[in-house]
Amino acid sequence: MRAHTLRLLAQPTAAAERGRFLLVTGSIAVAGGLLLVGQRVARLYMDTDGASSTYSYGGLAPSYGGLAPYVTQAGLRPGVVIGAVLVTVPVLALALQALRVGSLARERRMASLRLAGATARDVRTVAAAEAGVAAAAGGLLAGPAYLLCWLMLGVLMPAGLRLVPTPGPLDLLAWAATLLVAAAAGAIAGAVVQKRVVAEPLSVRRRIGPQPPGRANVVGLVAGLLLVVFGFGQLTEAPGGGEYLLLVVVLVGLLLVAFTIGPRLVRRLGGRLQLRESAVDVLVGARLHVDPQTAGRVAAVLVVCGLALGVEALMVSDLLGRDIGNGDDLSFYLTGFGMAAVGVLLVVVVAVLTLLIGAADQLLDARRPLASLVALGVDEQILEKVLRRQQSAAAAPAVVLGVLVGAAGAAYLSGDGALAVGLLPTLLVAAVAGGAVGLVTRLAAVLLRPRLRAATDPENLRVA
């Protein structure tokens, strides 16, 4: 396809398309901004404060630029960097979910393009261009997003609590790289996502359903497990200088494992639910069984969030249980934990947003069966319940599981009776986290009500 034709066909014109475009652009901008913050903080070891000889290599004077000790101390800095990078994971998952979202308008458009003589490959090229442009726009906005982070977490914070240092010229280079990577990744993702949508001249079908257990999945799982075992083993052996690196290793491994087995576990869960008595359970189970991808990925993110919360719960209770004596030290730790908790909270919100978008998409897919269910006399309230349970069925257990495993891991690492002190707080955190996720999914179901109403419109019975 020639460039002028591609340009003509890849413009997002329908309102729903523009929404999709904005969601992709927005989440890439946020993720890119966070990554730019991460690299800036990581580059602090190149800064000199004029007195660095007194501090260990890579460390800065405590008052340097009014920065918080979490970034000036060489030993703590990687924690902030890891945090920034980890928060981008669910944000990127959100972007991917936004790409998957179809709309009636889009489906009609793809089918009509095919009828006009576009090959399946042409349609994929159009999708890649659309996504690439949206992602590139996100990459472009990553710069302003970074500056905004600097303003909010750097300039406006009181001295001593600032997390983002003043931007430097090297940031321009990093920004350019972000832009390029975003555009390329967006185009690839757009093409891959379109592969799951079969646009034929007369209709559009989606290749939903169980993905074949691809080799990449198995490799990911094995690699993830190896990383976890290796990292964890080393952590208990020698908690010395390299512990942050090991922590990253463990976390990456956990993410890999969670993302590869998340969808499978959700599919299993769906199968189990289908065997139950209640109609709601059966309907929920069927949805999860047929399309476990979104719920699985979100569950993966939530397990890792839960892990972070669990580790924190244990460490905080350990800290409070111990008699530190020095109030400054205590507030130093608690502020750190507080910041981490805010990060986790952000991630949870993003994850639930992803679920919401995924559910809207499923409603679109299922509009015909849904409309016929209503026509058969299944009332809308039951469907709303199905929708709600579909969100929370995997999400709530995932976050609870994460908290418990995280606390157990932390207890194992810190040893000497940490578990005994932390057990009650951990259970409390688990209950609160699970309940919060349940509550948010309830809210999500309310937000989806108009979509549900549209999907159950009897008019849909006539849609092929």
Partner 1 sequence: MNGLTPEPVLELTGVMHAYRRTVALRGISMSVSPEEVVAVTGPSGCGKSTLLHAAAGIVRPQGGSVRLLGQDLGALDETARTVLRRRRVGIVLQFGQLVPDLSVLDNVALPLLLEGHDRATARTAATDWLCRSGLEAETAATPAELSGGQAQRAAVARALVTGPSVIFADEPTGSLDTTGGELLLDLLVGAARERGAALVLVTHDNMVAARADREIRLRDGVVEAVTVLR
> Which is nearer to partner 1, 17 or 291 (by Cβ)?
17
Nearer to partner 1, 13 or 381 (CB): 13
Helix axes 327-365, 367-376, angle to 10 degrees: 70
In whole angstroms, how close is the CB of 120 to partner 1 at the nearest point? 6
Length of the chain: 464
Task: Find how far residue 211's CA is from the centre of its chain.
Answer: 21
Q: Nearest approach, Cβ of 121 to partner 1 (angstroms)?
A: 7
Residue 406: exposure state from Cβ atoms within 10 A (0-12, 13-18, ≥19) = buried
Q: How far apart are CA 151 and CA 163, in angstroms?
A: 10
**Cα 415 to Cα 418: distance, rounded to the nearest angstrom:** 6
Q: H or E element: which one contains 205?
A: strand 204-206
Crossing angle of helices 380-414/279-290, nearest 10°?
Answer: 70
CA neighbor of 303 nearest in space, from 335, 351, 341: 351
Q: Which two tokens stand for residue 276?
A: 């139950």
Cα 55 to Cα 75: distance, rounded to the nearest angstrom? 12
The answer to whether residues 396 and 438 touch, using CB atoms and an 8 Å cutoff, is yes
Cβ–Cβ < 8 Å for 163, 68: yes
As a whole number of angstroms, the distance between CA 213 and CA 194 comes to 20
**DSSP label of 188:** H
Report the Cα 411 to chain-centroid distance in Å: 26
How far apart are CB 271 and partner 1 at their closest, in Å? 25
**Would you say 234 or 372 has its CB closer to partner 1?**
372
Give the amino acid at 289: H
Of residues 198 and 382, the one with the C-beta less far from partner 1: 198
CB of 105 to partner 1, least distance (A): 7
Q: Which amino acid type is present at position 342?
A: V
Residue closer to partner 1 (CB basis): 5 or 331: 5
**Given the complex with partner 1, which of 191 and 350 has the nearer CB atom?**
191
Instruction: At 346, list the tokens.
Output: 């952000």
Residues that bind partner 1 (CB under 8 A): 1-2, 4-5, 8-9, 11, 13-14, 105, 108-109, 112-122, 200-202
Pick between residue 15 and residue 222 the one whose CB is nearest to partner 1: 15
